[in-house]
């Protein structure tokens, strides 16, 4: 992703990728300038949050452990993992920011 962003930023095309073995070669799908700008804007917003590595990991866990996905097996287990990630995030934020619990 970094190569795509910097290549388009400088007005260059990113180097072509070799096709995967056994797959026919099609024209490369390059993101539009608007797509790249949207990604750069999103990344800038994320970086401006200035979250720690732990906060990022816990946030990622709350998103990845989503029991509401259709066709998912073991939903109770996944829901438990999501709750654990949410609780760990709450505890981390409480300790780092020394504020009251985020429980409602």
Residue 104 has pLDDT above 80, yes or no: no
pTM, two decimals, is 0.52
| Between 21 and 47, the higher pLDDT residue | 47
What's the pLDDT tens digit per position in 49-90?
888 888 888 888 888 889 998 888 899 999 999 999 999 999
Q: In percent, how much of the chain has pLDDT > 90? A: 26
Please state, in angstroms and rounded to a whole number, the distance separating the CA atoms of residues 95 and 89.
Answer: 10
Burial 5-44, CB ≥16 within 10 A → b, else e: beebeeeeeeeeeeeeeeeeeeeeeeeeeeebeeeeeeee
Residue with the two structure tokens 């720690």: 52
pLDDT at 9: 43
């Amino acid at each position: 992703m970094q190569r795509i962003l910097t290549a388009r930023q400088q007005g260059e095309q990113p180097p072509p990728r070799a096709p995967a073995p056994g797959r026919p070669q099609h024209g490369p799908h390059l993101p539009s300038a608007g797509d790249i700008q949207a990604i750069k804007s999103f990344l800038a917003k994320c970086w401006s949050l200035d979250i720690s590595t732990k906060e990022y990991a816990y946030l990622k866990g709350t998103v990845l452990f989503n029991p509401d996905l259709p066709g998912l097996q073991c939903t109770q287990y996944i829901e438990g993992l999501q709750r654990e990630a949410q609780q760990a995030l709450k505890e981390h934020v409480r300790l780092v920011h020394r504020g009251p619990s985020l429980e409602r």
